[in-house]
């Protein structure tokens, strides 16, 4: 069975402790490879290599750093199909999604930051004839990047690329549930001769490897995406060490539908925003609020479409809904369906595990996309992040009422708004407590825009120049004239 390796100081190496974890293919429910069960000794080696590489990398010309990142981007493009297959196998997502979204986006993340640094400008502040100030932005040192399983290479590269582009060296940890494409990325780094120590990838469990990164004294900056509870744990570790932190956490996003929207466009997009990647995207809209006059029309059309969605083998190009990422996650999602029923919800479609007919895939973690109605906006099902193919429907009468529902959770990541009334769109966008508001669209992403959440959805922003700012230390220089 294939054993993945860590990537430390330019070499593909076994973990020091010699032990491995099972890596499961969720479409079959079977172990298909082994990943290093690394510990603080591997992290220490990686941090040492990264620290030693920092002076060289941070002093390299912007153009040379850019060339290395572009070379990574080009190799991802060249290995696109292989990487999409690997992502689909590792995560359970349809291969079509990995080909259209995950791997192209990872490629673009490297290209985006490789070229962004060529266009950076620094600020200056004139003080009449008295003096002037200019701002230097220097790389900080070794950056720790910790990422989750839902968009494995996409989110991993969304952190690594700006950290490296701005001159930091990196110790990175992908999710132990979906490590494979991070391993392929380390192969690519070897192929392009990335200088040793610039990027180090350590595989293993969160409480061991992630914790060791969070507490390592030579890693002063940490970028994390994952669950809110883990974010809290990392903050508790990093705060007394005065580390710079960026946290991208969970969401419980509202999808608000007014009667005056373009119904067909809204319906088509709402299918995606509810169930793309089996609902395992932090930006999915899991609470759907519908203006009362079109509630029944929407409900009937939505239930009809969702009940026809094919749940199938991820490697089949026609599959739209693949497997959930793990058995424990499937059980967690199913337990929320049960909770919803206990809370008075009615399951309109789905709600159950699916056993595929193909014998090879009968143990995979499949579930039917699920729609629930009849729940109160403030019940647990509507307040806690489920992170699976489950949405709830609720009617509303006024803007004020739906705003109160939308803003009622502890999260504030993304909101979607469907209306053809421009004034209302601006009014609502202003009042929604959400880091991202999509009007008449969903997941329309421009990599230059700030990305992140309010409240317990996170701290700080990624994306565009926000990420380059995060990974640098501003220094004001004041000159008397």
Q: Which residues are the active-site residues?
A: 248, 282
User: x/- site string to ligand TXE, residues 204 to 243, per CB under 6 A?
Assistant: --xx--xx--x----------xxx--x--xx---------
Pick the closer one to ligand TXE by CB: 128 or 217: 217
**131: contact with ligand TXE by CB under 6 A:** no
Is the distance from CB of 314 to CB of 89 less than 8 angstroms? yes
Rounded least distance, CB 232 to ligand TXE, Å = 10
Q: If you count them, how many residues does the chain have?
A: 481
- Six token digits for residue 163: 């950290």
Residues 270 to 309 in contact with ligand TXE, rule: CB under 6 A: 282
Q: Tell me which residue of 371, 370, 368, 357 sits closest to 313, measured CA to CA.
A: 357
Q: Is 201 or 234 the residue whose CB approaches ligand TXE more closely?
A: 234
Structure-token match 């060249």, residue found: 78
Report the nearest approach of ligand TXE to the CB of residue 97 (Å): 15
Q: Which residues are paired to 200 by β-bridges?
A: 171
- Rounded CA-CA distance 152/387 in Å is 15
Tell me, residue by residue from 143 to 162, as one string, x for binding to ligand TXE by CB under 6 A and - for no binding: ---xxxxx------------
Interface pick for ligand TXE out of 40, 42, 385, 462 (rule CB under 6 A): 385
In the block, tokens 């290209």 appear at: 111
**Cβ nearer to ligand TXE, comparing 114 with 333:** 333
Question: Concatenated DSSP letters for 225-280?
Answer: ES-HHHHHHHHHHHGGGT-EEEEE----EEEEE-TTS-HHHHHHHHHHHHHGGGG-
What is the smallest separation between the CB atom of 210 and ligand TXE, expressed in angstroms?
2
Nearer to ligand TXE, 149 or 471 (CB): 149
CA 265 – CA 256 distance, rounded (Å)? 14
Residue 382, interface with ligand TXE (CB under 6 A)?
no
381 sits near ligand TXE (criterion: CB under 6 A): no
Distance from C-alpha of 328 to C-alpha of 326, rounded to nearest angstrom: 5
Compute the least distance from the CB of residue 458 to ligand TXE, in Å.
7
Query: Minimum CB separation from ligand TXE for residue 389, in Å?
Result: 13
We find the least distance from the C-beta atom of residue 251 to ligand TXE, in angstroms, to be 6
Q: Which is nearer to ligand TXE, 325 or 403 (CB)?
A: 325
Query: CA 12, 18, 24: angle at the middle one, nearest 5?
Result: 80
- Pick one of 175, 253, 381, 394: the residue that binds ligand TXE (CB under 6 A): 175
CB atoms under 10 Å from CB of 27, counted, come to 30
For ligand TXE, the closer CB: 76 or 249: 249
Total of residues contacting ligand TXE (CB under 6 A): 25
Please say whether the dihedral angle defined by the alpha carbons of residues 440, 91, 365 and 337, taken in this order, is positive or negative.
Answer: negative
Encoded tokens for 443: 């997941």
Bridge partner list, 247: 224, 459
Task: Give the H or E element holding residue 405.
Answer: helix 399-406
Work out whether 96 is an interface residue with ligand TXE (CB under 6 A): no
Buried b (16+ CB within 10 A) or exposed e, 344-358: ebebbbbbeeeebee
Q: How far is the CB of 240 from ligand TXE (least distance, A)?
A: 15
Does residue number 367 form part of the binding site for ligand TXE (CB under 6 A)? Answer: no
Span 243-262, contacts to ligand TXE by CB under 6 A: 248-250
Tell me whether residue 306 or residue 436 sits nearer to ligand TXE (CB atom).
436
Residues forming the site for ligand TXE (CB under 6 A): 146-150, 173, 175-176, 206-207, 210-211, 214, 225-227, 230, 233-234, 248-250, 282, 385, 387
């Amino acid at each position: 069975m294939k054993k993945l390796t860590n990537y430390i100081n330019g070499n593909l190496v076994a973990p020091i402790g010699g032990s491995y974890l099972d890596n499961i293919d969720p479409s079959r429910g079977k172990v298909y490879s082994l990943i290093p069960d690394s510990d603080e000794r591997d992290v220490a080696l990686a941090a040492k290599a990264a620290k030693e590489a920092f002076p060289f990398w941070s002093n390299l010309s912007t153009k040379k750093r850019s060339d290395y990142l572009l070379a990574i981007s080009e190799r991802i493009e060249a290995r696109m199909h292989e990487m999409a297959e690997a992502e689909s196998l590792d995560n359970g997502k349809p291969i079509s999604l990995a080909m259209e979204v995950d791997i192209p986006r990872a490629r673009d993340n490297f290209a985006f930051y490789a070229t962004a640094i060529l266009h950076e400008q620094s600020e200056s502040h004139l003080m009449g004839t008295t003096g002037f100030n200019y701002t230097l932005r220097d790389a900080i040192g070794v950056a720790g990047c910790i990422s989750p399983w839902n968009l494995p290479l996409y989110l991993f590269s969304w952190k690594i690329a700006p950290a490296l582009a701005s001159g930091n060296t990196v110790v990175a940890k992908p999710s132990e549930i979906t490590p494979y494409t991070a391993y392929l990325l380390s192969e690519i780094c070897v192929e392009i001769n990335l200088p040793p120590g610039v990027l180090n990838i350590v595989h293993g469990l969160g409480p061991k490897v992630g914790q060791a990164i969070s507490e390592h004294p030579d890693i002063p900056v940490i970028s994390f995406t994952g669950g809110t509870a883990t974010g809290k744990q990392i903050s508790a570790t990093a705060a007394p060490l005065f580390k710079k932190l960026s946290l991208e956490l969970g969401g419980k996003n509202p999808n608000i539908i007014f009667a005056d929207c373009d119904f067909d466009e809204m319906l088509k997009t709402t299918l995606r925003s509810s169930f793309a990647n089996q609902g395992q995207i932090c930006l999915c809209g899991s609470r759907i609020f519908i203006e009362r006059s079109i509630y029944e029309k929407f409900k009937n059309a939505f239930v009809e479409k969702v009940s026809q969605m094919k749940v199938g083998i991820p490697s089949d190009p026609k599959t739209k809904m693949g497997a959930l990422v793990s058995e424990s996650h499937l059980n967690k999602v199913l337990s929320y369906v049960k909770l919803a029923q206990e809370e008075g919800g009615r399951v309109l479609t789905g709600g159950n595990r699916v056993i595929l007919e193909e014998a090879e895939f009968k143990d995979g973690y499949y579930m039917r996309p699920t729609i629930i109605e009849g729940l109160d906006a403030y019940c647990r099902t509507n307040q806690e992040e489920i992170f699976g193919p489950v949405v709830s429907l609720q009617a509303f009468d006024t803007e004020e009422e739906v705003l109160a529902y939308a803003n009622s959770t502890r999260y504030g990541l993304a909101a979607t708004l469907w209306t053809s009334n421009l004034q209302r769109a601006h009014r609502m966008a202003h009042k929604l407590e959400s880091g991202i508001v999509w009007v008449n669209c969903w997941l329309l992403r421009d990599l230059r825009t700030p990305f992140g959440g309010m409240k317990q959805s996170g701290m700080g922003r990624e994306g565009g120049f926000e990420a380059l700012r995060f990974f640098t230390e501003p220094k004001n220089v004041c000159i008397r004239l």
